[in-house]
Amino acid sequence: MIHSSQGGTSLLEVDGLSVDYGLKGVSSRAIDSVSFALRAGEAVGLVGESGSGKTTTAMAIAGLLSPNARVSGGQVRYRGNRLPIDDDAAMRPHRWSETSVVFQGAMNALNPVHRIIKQIAEPCMLKLGMSRGEATARARELLEFVGIPTDRGSAYPHELSGGMRQRVMIAMALACRPSIIIGDEPTTALDVITQAQILKLLGELRSQLNLALILITHDLSVVAESCDRVMIMYAGRIVEDGSVAEIFAQPKHPYTRLLIESIPNPASGKKMIRPIPGDPPNLVNRPLGCAFHPRCPSAMAVCATEVPSLDKLGRGRVACHLHRSSQDKVAVHA
């Protein structure tokens, strides 16, 4: 059940992955049977509200699940080899060498007491076995590469602007020449102009280095600017997957449609953001059937009882009873 939007060899395959969090004896499912594939050089947006499982999905791929997380099903394969994502120590060689992460709010993601050059050089020394001198030279190259004057290398994080810190974070992510970069809300907390610059930088790096990019965001407009493909997540499941162009032109899942409608669009004179009615789903006590049905404007009786599977539709995938073939659709309108 591995789907890739345009075929070709997969760099990364996520297959039926489920992750639970245990907290004070209560277990809640953060992601449920998530499957997708990523090709080399591809840029995928992972979009959803907080609690939709987008961050858990990304952290599972990077091997950064927290200690109270448990992989309850499925697997992740990198270049065809299964990754030991629930084994902290066994994942260590994979981290940063194959998959690196650009965290949000680089202020706290960078260590305040070390100069930035040292933080960039660190993985080169520890992971690539470079000498201090080699690592520093590489860190200088990387700084230049992301557009920071090399003499700023001796600065501490607090001496740089938010955009500069995000660039440092990107330079650091490139240190071990990974093939996948995960951007965890990399432009949140930046002003619009800086945001555009950072997205542009990521785009350039991707094409120059043939990097696959997974961009986690709650902001569809960011995805529209910088990704080929988008996956919409809701309550721990992928509800829709398709090319950016198709999804924006013709959203199939009602949730996707509402998300797109809620993007403020100054051009069309629509100033008010229309929030999606209803509350985000409760993961401990999730609704039966489709998790979105209590908020869905097109909900049917079957939606409350049966979980829709993520099926191929056109060139993408969608998990919605509205789009199932007519013979097994019990079309009773609610």
Query: Is there a contact between 117 and 154 (Cβ–Cβ < 8 Å)?
Result: yes
Figure out which of the listed residues 29, 39, 54, 95 binds other proteins, where binding follows CB under 8 A. Answer: 95
Q: Which amino acid does the sequence have at 209?
A: L
Determine if 94 is a binding residue for other proteins (CB under 8 A): yes
Stretch that binds other proteins, among 87-95, 196-204, 238-246, 299-307 (CB under 8 A): 87-95
| SS3 annotation, 170-183 | HHHHHCCCCCEEEE
Figure out which of the listed residues 31, 110, 231, 238 binds other proteins, where binding follows CB under 8 A. Answer: 110
Nearest residue to 285 (alpha-carbon basis) of 16, 27, 12: 27
Q: Considering the complex, what minimum distance in angstroms separates the CB of residue 234 from other proteins?
A: 25
Residue 240 backbone dihedrals phi, psi, to 5 degrees: -155, 145
User: Which is closer to other proteins, CB of 17 or CB of 125?
Assistant: 125
114 to 143: interface string for other proteins, x by CB under 8 A: --------xx--xx----------------
Determine if 96 is a binding residue for other proteins (CB under 8 A): yes
Determine if 103 is a binding residue for other proteins (CB under 8 A): yes
Stretch that binds other proteins, among 26-34, 110-118, 198-206, 291-299 (CB under 8 A): 110-118
Nearest residue to 186 (alpha-carbon basis) of 85, 45, 50: 45
In terms of DSSP bridges, do strands 212-217 and 180-184 run parallel, antiparallel, or are they unpaired?
A: parallel
CA 28: distance to chain centroid?
Answer: 20
Query: Is there a contact between 136 and 117 (Cβ–Cβ < 8 Å)?
Result: yes
Q: Considering the complex, what minimum distance in angstroms separates the CB of residue 52 from other proteins?
A: 20
Nearest residue to 320 (alpha-carbon basis) of 297, 275, 290, 295: 290
Determine if 272 is a binding residue for other proteins (CB under 8 A): no
User: Which is closer to other proteins, CB of 12 or CB of 303?
Assistant: 12
Determine if 21 is a binding residue for other proteins (CB under 8 A): no
User: Which is closer to other proteins, CB of 94 or CB of 229?
Assistant: 94
List % helix, strand, coil for the chain (3-state, nearest 5).
35, 25, 40
- What is the number of other CB atoms lying within 10 angstroms of the CB of residue 300? 20
Q: Which amino acid does the sequence have at 301?
A: A
Figure out which of the listed residues 8, 22, 80, 93 binds other proteins, where binding follows CB under 8 A. Answer: 93
Binding stretches for other proteins (CB under 8 A): 62, 64, 89, 92-97, 100-101, 103, 105, 108-113, 122-123, 126-127, 156, 158-159, 172
